[in-house]
Amino acid sequence: MSPFTGSASRTGAEEWRHLRLALDAGVATVTLARPGRLNALTFGAYADLRDLIPELARDGSVRALVLGGEGAGFCSGGDVDEIIGATLAMDTRQLLDFNRMTGQVVQALRSCPFPVIAAVHGAAAGAGAVLALAADFRVADPTARFVFLFTRVGLSGGDMGAAYLLPRVVGLGHATRLLMLGEPVQADEAERIGLISRLTDTGGAPAAARALARRLADGPALAHAQTKALLTAELDMPLSAAVELDAATQALLMNGADYAEFHAAFTAKRPPEWQGR
């Protein structure tokens, strides 16, 4: 059992103390809400993210999630005073518990059955950059700046799964440079190397992320969930195993209501009414 507890596990309440949650017809919006600290993460914020995302998955009504930050930036990473200072007093067991918790946040983002869209403006630094990396889509405006700071504080660049995810998004060469040197990547370069899914006008990332989330939430949710699951599972599979997994998944989906609904809608020349099953 992790010693790091979030809002729900402490209080049993629906309110999440370290972030804001809004639900709108299948779209969940999670906002990091410490604008005075550039949304720097605390132990409680990590724990809330770790706990909230699986709870949204269990709820079953969420079909897309937007992750954003309030104020001048997306997320500046771990709070220097509240986390970095505190970790200097921890023993190895406590440090392992903490680092496992941060990784559980990334695992939750990658394993949840709905697409996650990071709406990035300003700084996405350290753990903030990894949170954006773990999303399925990164929608950013020209102010966005990604920086994987870990080696610059004397730690491995492979933090929170970054050494696994980043090469798969931008390639090994770019990932080596970004994780080893910890240099900032501005929005235009991030788009060029594939770190950004879509570059918007200044200030346009939140609206564009919400529009994408709405499009996804209104679509065939089960198809999206299985696509995400296969993209993650097949990263480390040989082609023969991937093709077999694809075949089994498609056979199951072909028995689903949405597949039949597509045919009925196509025949009737009307838009499909997706049911997510």
83 C-beta neighbours (distance < 10 Å), count = 19
Find all residues with CB under 8 Å of 254, minimum gap 6, and list them: none
Which pLDDT belongs to residue 13?
39
pLDDT in tens, 89-118: 999 999 999 999 999 999 999 999 999 999
User: Can you tell me the distance from the alpha carbon of 207 to that of 224, in angstroms, rounded to the nearest whole number?
Assistant: 21
For residue 5, pLDDT beyond 80: no
Q: b/e string for 95-108 if b means 16 or more Cβ within 10 A? A: eeebeebbbbbbbb
Q: Which of 6-15, 60-69, 78-87, 172-181 has the lowest mean pLDDT?
A: 6-15
Which pLDDT belongs to residue 11?
37
Which pLDDT belongs to residue 16?
86
78 CB-contact burial (10 Å; exposed 0-12 / middle 13-18 / buried 19+): buried
Average pLDDT of the chain, as a whole number: 94
